[in-house]
Structure 1
């Protein structure tokens, strides 16, 4: 898997996704995002549903990378906790496979600001499916 593989799709371009690393031992992916100004609400922070998109992207790629690109998760649910307002500009997100079974996958994600402060956390329960296009 390479940087280009991890950033396919118009949605990834919109979110300013950049693949940073994958740790196969912990099945953790690190991705960088740039929240564009159009994501910012009148309160001055990224809209919550778009924050969930950052977390979903990282959690999903953790599973994709852990399976060598063969599988992609199909979410059954995503739970998110916003800890601080998410600013425009550079962000870092980690996604990790907590447990992967034949029928269910458990994932988690964390979103950080440029200083390393945790802004949001999420978990997801998903179904392993063949990765589209493989």
Structure 2
């Protein structure tokens, strides 16, 4: 992970407990670990879906930046599938391309906890100039 990319991490990345960033330039995929805190939970004690969505939007945003020669991109739309409840603790996210266009990037990401997929997302990002 290069220093330039680390300087562009948004404040939400730190709020979500983002750490252990692994950029695989050869395979063009990105893995980021997050720490889901007690303050992220709903009355049932599981992590709010919006917090998981924010983690996946964050990993896709950083992926778009890294995979597109450090050019910023912004979310156009995002769809979520919540597959299992998320407990407080470590969440591992992964992101990769579906298709890389010149102005629109089609991405997919997953959130994992205890070796089980808990959510997945697809999104389109607009490349900014």
Q: Say whether the fold is shared (TM-score over 0.5).
A: yes
Structure 2 partner of 1:116: 115
Query: Is 1:91 the equivalent of 2:72?
Result: no
Preserved contact between residue 32 and residue 93 of structure 1 (Cα < 8 Å): yes
TM-score, scaled to structure 2? 0.89
RMSD: 1.9
Preserved contact between residue 29 and residue 63 of structure 2 (Cα < 8 Å): yes
Structure 2 partner of 1:125: 124
Structure 1 partner of 2:31: 30
Give structure 2 stretches of 5+ with no counterpart.
none
Structure 1: how far apart are the matches of 2:13 and 2:4?
A: 12
Partner of 2:53: helix, strand, or coil? helix
1:29-77 Cα distance to aligned partner (Å, 9 max, x none): 00000011110001111111111001111111111111232x1221111
Structure 2 partner of 1:50: 51
TM-score, scaled to structure 1? 0.86
Give structure 1 stretches of 5+ with no counterpart.
none
Which stretch has the larger CA shift, 80-89 or 12-21?
Answer: 12-21
Write out aligned runs for 1:1-20 (5 A): 1-2=2-3, 5=6, 8-20=9-21
